[in-house]
């Protein structure tokens, strides 16, 4: 079996990675919901949420890189240059949360199950990964892993960003420092911040959804 790894673009200056996943459920995943609800209802919820996030990512000049179950990953500054990509990734998350809240988007019988977001910036590598029969554009590197882990510890309705994203977004972000966070697979803690607002637009974080 042959595998192709054509990682041809070193993303320097850095890219920004946005990972969103349903939080507020056991293990932050959907098995419990899928057991109780017809598959069609779960798919309808995910499709409605993904539609909102895809449009928010596109409005802010990002691309949707992949889906995985209840997860969506967006990328900025790859494959094309995007000015102020850290700010735009955060803005996309705030806009998506606001629209989901405005539409009362929720899983039946699980009102606390909302999307949490992890956003991180840094140098990565982008290109086509796969086999001779199937290739997929992917972004690989430690910033991607950290973004995913930040998403994993964010509560429903929360946006967590890494140190580099906070630095690059600068005055556009109002944040609450969370201190060093121990992330799965990391040998050292990572500084993390909860986004309170982007350019004055408040990140909606319902109290009922904030429990981990």
Q: Show pLDDT as tens, one digit a residue, over the chain (212 residues).
A: 333 434 444 445 567 777 777 664 433 445 556 667 777 888 888 899 899 999 999 999 999 988 888 889 999 988 888 999 999 999 999 999 999 989 888 776 676 678 889 999 988 888 888 877 888 888 888 888 999 999 989 988 899 999 999 999 999 999 999 999 999 888 899 999 999 999 998 886 544 333 33
Domain of residue 157 covers 3-209
- Number of domains, the chain: 1
Token pair 């949490």: residue: 116
Taken in order 176, 55, 120, 23, the sign of the CA dihedral is positive
Give one DSSP letter per residue of 141-157, joined into a string: SHHHHHHHHHHHHSPTT
- Which token pair is 27? 């293990």
Per the CB < 8 A criterion, the answer to whether 90 and 130 are in contact is no
- Tell me the CATH number at 123: 3.30.70.1230
């Amino acid at each position: 079996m042959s595998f192709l790894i054509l990682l041809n673009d070193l993303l320097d200056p850095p890219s920004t990675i946005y990972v969103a996943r349903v939080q507020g459920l056991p293990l932050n995943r959907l098995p419990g919901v899928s057991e109780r609800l017809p598959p069609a209802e779960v798919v309808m919820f995910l499709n409605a949420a993904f539609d909102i996030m895809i449009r928010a990512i596109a409005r802010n000049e990002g691309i949707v890189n992949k889906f995985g179950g209840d997860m969506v990953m967006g990328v900025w500054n790859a494959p094309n240059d995007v000015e102020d990509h850290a700010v735009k990734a955060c803005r996309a998350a705030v806009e998506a949360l606001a629209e989901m809240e405005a539409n009362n988007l929720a899983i039946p019988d699980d009102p606390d199950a909302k999307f949490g977001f992890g956003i991180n910036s840094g140098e990565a590598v982008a290109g086509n990964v796969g086999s001779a029969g199937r290739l997929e554009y992917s972004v690989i590197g430690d910033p991607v892993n950290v973004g995913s882990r930040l998403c994993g510890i964010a509560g429903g309705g929360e946006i967590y960003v890494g140190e580099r994203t906070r630095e690059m977004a600068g005055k556009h972000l109002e944040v609450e420092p969370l201190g060093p966070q121990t992330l799965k697979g990391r040998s050292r803690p990572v500084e993390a911040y909860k986004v309170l607002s982007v350019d004055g637009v408040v990140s909606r974080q319902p109290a009922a959804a904030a429990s981990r």
